[in-house]
Amino acid sequence: MTAVSHVVVGYDFSHPGHAALQRGVAIASRAPSHVLHVLCVIDPRSPIPSIPSYDGVDAMYAARVQEMLAIEIQAELERAEIQSRVHFFVHARIAEHVADELLGLAREVGADLIVVGSHGLTGLERFLVGSTSEKIVRDAGCSVEIARVKQYPEVELPTTVENEPDLDHDHDHPYIPPHRYTYENHRVSLRPPEWPLV
């Protein structure tokens, strides 16, 4: 029987949170043994901007957030065109400290991985408000992945031979081109230097 791997994802309806959810879905879609636990921590002093509150932040509001979160996860699964079965739990907690809640949930479910987004705080901002992802990395009892929105452009990789620099230019540090291998049927085979298409 395959062991279940629990993946805790922090989601707050922001762009970094969406990057974390995308990464969590990508991980869970690889095998049915991965179970997602998507957690939204709601600040008791202010509701989530995209989900207005009519009577303050209370249990009823948290239930609405859970419903919206389930819809967001389903939409992401459909965008990713997941063909396999994906199990997920939706958690909404009212608390001031996001990192403490994520770490607490990770302990409760015996998480194998925590995925969080990075809001990119630097310098004075980090000093004043702290960094949730930094605290999670420091205090987690499992691996942590910081998800970011991809900013690198899509590139078509040429053959490695075409990338080879002039070997006569630097004799002290000769360029050694990478070698490509394929592992299949318990054997390692040397392949032509072209990058794999997949």
Reported as a single tens digit per residue, the pLDDT across 4-47 is 899 999 999 988 899 999 999 999 888 778 899 999 999 999 89
Return the biggest CA–CA distance within the chain: 74
State residue 183's pLDDT score: 84
* pTM of the complete model: 0.77
Q: If residue 28 lies in a helix (H) or strand (E), which one and from where to where?
A: helix 15-28
State residue 127's pLDDT score: 45
Residue 154 is encoded by which pair of tokens? 């899509």
| Domains of the chain (ranges, CATH numbers) | 5-147 (3.40.50.620), 153-198 (no CATH)
State residue 120's pLDDT score: 56
State residue 157's pLDDT score: 64
- Ranges under pLDDT 70 in the chain: 1-2, 119-130, 157-171, 173, 193-198
Tell me the β-bridge partners of 88: 36
Tell me the β-bridge partners of 77: none
